[in-house]
Amino acid sequence: MRRLFGSVRSRATLGAALVVAVALVAAGAAVLLSLRSTLIDQAGNDAERTAQNVVAQLNLGKAYDQLDLDDDSPVQVVAANNTLVAANDDLERISGTATDAVKPQPQTGGTGTGDTGTGGEDADDADDDPTHGVGEIGEGTRFTDGSATIDGESADYRFAAVTMEAKGRGPLTVYAGGSLDAERSAVNTALTVMLIGFPLLLGVVAAVTWLVTRRALRPVEGIRREMAAITASQDLARRVPEPDTHDEVARLARTTNETLAALETSVEQQRRFVADASHELRSPIASLRTQLEVGAAHPELLDVPGAVEDTVRLQRLAADLLLLARLDAGEAPGAKRFDLGEVARREARGRENVTVRADVVEVAGSRSQLERVIGNLLDNAQRHARSAVTVTVRTDGAWAVAAVADDGDGVAEADRERIFERFVRLDEARSRDDGGAGLGLAIARDVAVRHGGTLTVGRAPAGGALFELRLPQDRP
């Protein structure tokens, strides 16, 4: 069960079914309530019309036993003290009105049925006088719910109560019932249809959602299988299939392939870096070992200066590799502020043929890393300069600029980006006696980028190379 509902397709199907179920229940309840209210109002209107018809007959002075009463609906005429004075002939039982009596009580006097107290002459006079029996009808109609049995058939009714003040008869209340059978039948029919139709509709929604989700997630499953195969084979050259759509799944596939390409490039760079580092370390270590072995066998032949030089080269290379590893790991440069011009003057101190023109320019970051950048640029310039190296520190808007220029042969335009790659040395500088391991400029650019700046190379006024380091003065 946990595995079943652990899939996106199952959760989507269940979620859609639940949403539709809630919507159907809410809509069904609203329909039933509206239908019931409408039908009850209709029954009340029918009852009110029947009651008003009886009131109109009473208002015309008809005797109680002469009233034309609807045999299909229960009707009561109730006098003061809840005395029943008129009702359907077939009425057997009633509830929900002022009295449950079904047989009228005999009336005396001029307001009766004509059995006593009123002669035929008086009756004729009443028919000739249109004002006889005219009464006042009460305002408003009251409604109650009850039941009644007419001619052996019982049913529920909506009763309307209309009051009037009849002349010579006193206050009267007419109760008439409107059948609620139509309301009960319609509500029951609608409820039955809902109980049968709603589950079927939910089944259709769930099935459609399951199929649509399956179709939509099919490319995702293909991506998952391919990623599992790539993980198992460790072949980063493989790519996941990209569907011919323009939806989120297609963008996911493209992003995954871009990530795989970046990962492949990174792994390849790491492999090349390890291979180049091993190659660069092998030479000074082999040379140092040879000198030490010769010195051990023939002390008089030990080249101490050469051994020291190889040791220094090995130490610098190890330091460069360690700094690159820290940069690749995302080491934060810090936010301490210091004078970039003072850093340039300090790094140029003791070097031959180096001229410094530095203003006071404050930047934020790692002082030691930026000292390394300026030092590497000066080392590179001195290796290629003919006679002079110039260092300039100035401001350019919101930027701090440190420029190192030499009067050498410069850097060909085609090589101006390649020289910043790791372990890259141009042909004229391949000799390890003249150049380093090809890490100085790569380190310098990495440090510049991580400080929010740039490091570029161009042509100096004297014809040599011009390296320009640009750093933001207000780095966040």
Q: What per-residue confidence (pLDDT) applies to 116?
A: 33
Q: What is the mean pLDDT of the chain?
A: 84
Q: What per-residue confidence (pLDDT) applies to 5?
A: 54
d(CA 323, CA 339): 22
Q: What per-residue confidence (pLDDT) applies to 135?
A: 59
Query: Could you give the 3-state DSSP secondary structure of residue 470?
Result: strand
Report which DSSP code applies to 415.
G
pTM of the model: 0.51
**CA R_g for the chain:** 53
Average pLDDT over residues 265-281: 78
pLDDT band per the 50, 70, 90 thresholds, residue 392? very high
Q: What per-residue confidence (pLDDT) applies to 163?
A: 92
The 10s digit of each residue's pLDDT in 274-306 is 777 777 778 778 888 888 888 888 887 778 888
Q: How many CA atoms within 13 Å lie on the side-chain side of 219?
A: 18
Helices assigned H by DSSP within 60-154: 120-128
CA dihedral 191, 192, 198, 203 (to 10 degrees): 170
Handedness of CA 449, 450, 453, 455 (dihedral sign): negative
d(CA 445, CA 426): 17
Produce one character per residue of 36-56: b if its CB has 16 or more CB atoms within 10 Å, e if not.
Answer: beebbeebbebbbebbbbbbe
The 10s digit of each residue's pLDDT in 59-96 is 888 888 888 987 888 999 999 888 999 999 889 999 99
Q: What per-residue confidence (pLDDT) applies to 123?
A: 39
The 10s digit of each residue's pLDDT in 410-432 is 999 999 999 998 887 765 443 44
Q: What per-residue confidence (pLDDT) applies to 364?
A: 94
Q: What per-residue confidence (pLDDT) applies to 415?
A: 92
List the domains of the chain with CATH numbers.
26-185 (no CATH), 248-328 (1.10.287.130), 337-472 (3.30.565.10)
Q: Which residues contact 300 (CB under 8 A, 6 or more apart)?
A: none
Average pLDDT over residues 433-457: 85
Average pLDDT over residues 234-242: 88
Q: What per-residue confidence (pLDDT) applies to 131?
A: 39
